[in-house]
Amino acid sequence: MNELLEKFSQEAEKCILCGACQSVCPVYAEVLDESKVARGRMALLKAVLADNLEVTNRLERILSTCIGCKACSAQCPAGSQADFANLAAKLRISRSKGLPYYQKLLSRHVFSRPKLRSASGRILDILGRRVYEPLSHHRTLQFALPYIRGGKGRMIPRRTIPPFHKRTPFPPVKGGVKGKVVFFYGCAVDTLYPHWGEEALAFLHRSGIDVEVPEGQSCCGAPLLFMGDLKGAEKMAEQNLSALTGTDAETIITLCATCGSTLKGLYPRLFPGEASETLADRIMDFQEYWMHKGLPAPTAKEAQKQAPLRVTYHDPCHLSRGMGVREAPRKILQNLPGIEYVEMEDADRCCGGGGLFSLSHYDLSLKIGQHKVDRIAESGADIVATACPSCRIQLEDLLHRADLDTRVVHVCELLSGNGNRNT
Ligand code: SF4
Ligand code: SF4
């Protein structure tokens, strides 16, 4: 933790108070509060470090309003990574103060256990639509339930069965093997979108890529880190490092922008060592891998199932700024027969999802998301493609609220010719 604190203070020290982050921070654009933009956060954090400011509940609330979109870090002329500094400060504070009971429950007993996670997905699925949605219309109850405050009429994602980790593995490719990958599915693809995994892996398999799905994988740990639970995340990182490093595959692919950027960007910084650094070097997003290997697009016959479609793309923050992947998804979409690709304005602006952020700060997340809804509507697209479970959940909710029938899919669904499927 001391080393982490050291890194965090270096980030805060780099800030030259120029204010360039104000123009890109989606949270600041809504709240216009200097304490909630990178420059203000850094000033507060420096004061805490110098023992000039006490850690109060108010400070914790301020830290919790950073969505982690990395827009400030990408814009900062001094190279300061405010999102990382903010995260490190949250980890440090929650280590000294402890986690609220429900965060501890989620973190230690749900995200870390595939069976329980799967069971809780089922509970969420049933309770969500039969209990929560009706309850959410009652003002008092709506504010009493942890994590779903103010969520009136919110769309709850459905759990899909069986989860990815229980699905049939792919046999080895027969002849003409072009490569081998390991697939890291992560908890959201495992529980909510297992068909993404199947479709992406089936596409790779058809293209001559051997796919391996090692057992013993856990959640990447990002939800825990964003809650402030470093210890829980470390346990998951250990499980993942052990599951993913015992294979000879050249590349480990992900379909979730947050998983990818956590394994690639956060593991080496939070859990330094040869294992995490070697792992980070092997992580690639599925779309990036498609471009890297020069894999084919579907044939016109395969694509007929989904033509004609007007498609736009939303950049997940953790993919574009976290992993530097911007070109590959656009290339895929532009190469798909029967698809007219349209670039929306501000495609890389945060949608307001931010994983657990939309649960803890739903009103703010909706305000941030409204900009995205407007840009999607202007594009006239039938489909908005993205590459992150959290963005998909958020975009579906936003579009549903706006009464737009634009559908949201992962790029891999279009690549595998299943963009018209209603999931
Ligand atoms: S852009 Fe960077 S240097 Fe400028 S105020 Fe923001 S964090 Fe500080
Ligand atoms: S990471 Fe995003 S939300 Fe957080 S301070 Fe930077 S720009 Fe604002």
pLDDT at 402: 92
Nearest ligand 2 atom to alpha carbon 75? 7
Query: Where in the chain are the domains?
Result: 2-97, 101-144, 164-293, 300-415
Q: Is there a contact between 240 and 371 (Cβ–Cβ < 8 Å)?
A: no
Closest by CA to 183, choosing from 273, 282, 265, is: 282
Q: Is there a contact between 411 and 200 (Cβ–Cβ < 8 Å)?
A: no
- Calpha distance 93→156 (Å, rounded): 31
- Calpha distance 176→44 (Å, rounded): 58
Nearest ligand 1 atom to alpha carbon 82? 7
Distance between Cα 268 and ligand 2 center (Å): 21
- Calpha distance 53→12 (Å, rounded): 15
- Calpha distance 373→267 (Å, rounded): 33
pLDDT (tens place) for every residue of the chain, 423 residues total? 556 666 777 888 899 999 999 999 999 999 999 999 999 999 988 888 777 888 888 888 898 899 999 999 999 999 999 998 888 888 878 877 777 666 666 666 666 666 666 666 666 666 666 666 666 666 666 555 544 555 566 777 766 778 888 877 778 788 778 899 999 999 999 988 999 999 999 999 999 999 999 998 999 999 889 888 888 899 999 999 999 988 888 899 999 999 999 999 999 999 999 999 999 999 999 999 999 999 988 776 666 666 678 999 999 999 999 999 999 999 999 999 888 999 999 999 999 998 888 888 888 999 999 999 999 999 999 999 999 999 999 999 999 989 999 999 999 999 877 665 545
Distance between Cα 26 and ligand 2 center (Å): 7
Residue closest by Cα to atom 8 of ligand 1 = 15
Amino acid present at 296: P
Classify domain 164-293 by CATH architecture.
Answer: 3-Layer(aba) Sandwich (3.40)
pLDDT at 55: 83
Closest by CA to 397, choosing from 353, 354, 338, is: 353
- Calpha distance 128→316 (Å, rounded): 25
Nearest ligand 2 atom to alpha carbon 66? 4
Main-chain dihedrals φ then ψ at residue 129, nearest 5 degrees: -85, -30
List of residues 6+ apart from 144 with CB closer than 8 A: none
> How many other C-beta atoms are found inside a 10 Å radius of the C-beta of residue 197?
25
Length of the chain: 423
Classify burial at 200, counting beta carbons within 10 Å of its beta carbon; exposed 0-12, middle 13-18, buried 19 or more: buried
Amino acid present at 273: G
* CATH tag, 300-415: 3.40.50
Helices (H), 306-361: 317-323, 327-335, 357-360
* Prior bond of 223 cis (ω within 30°): no
Distance between Cα 281 and ligand 2 center (Å): 26
Distance between Cα 42 and ligand 1 center (Å): 9
Residue closest by Cα to atom 6 of ligand 2 = 72
pLDDT at 171: 80
300-415 has the same fold as 164-293: yes
Long-range contacts of 138-147 (CB under 8 A, 24+ apart): 146/100, 146/102, 147/102, 147/356, 147/359, 147/360
Main-chain dihedrals φ then ψ at residue 122, nearest 5 degrees: -65, -45
Instruction: Produce one character per residue of 338-360: b if its CB has 16 or more CB atoms within 10 Å, e if not.
Output: bbbbeebeebbbbbbbbbbbbbb
CA atoms within 13 A on the CB side of 48: 24
Closest by CA to 266, choosing from 75, 88, 388, is: 88
376's tokens:
């999607």
Distance between Cα 158 and ligand 1 center (Å): 40
Instruction: Produce one character per residue of 248-285: b if its CB has 16 or more CB atoms within 10 Å, e if not.
Output: ebebbbbbbbbbbbbbbbbbbbbbeeebbeebbebbbb
Distance between Cα 23 and ligand 1 center (Å): 11
CA distances from 298 to 311, 332, 369, 409 (A): 16, 10, 32, 17
- Ligand 2: residues with CB < 6 A are 24-27, 37-38, 66-72, 82-83
Q: Give ∠ CA 298-203-388 in degrees, rounded to 5.
A: 100
Nearest ligand 1 atom to alpha carbon 22? 6
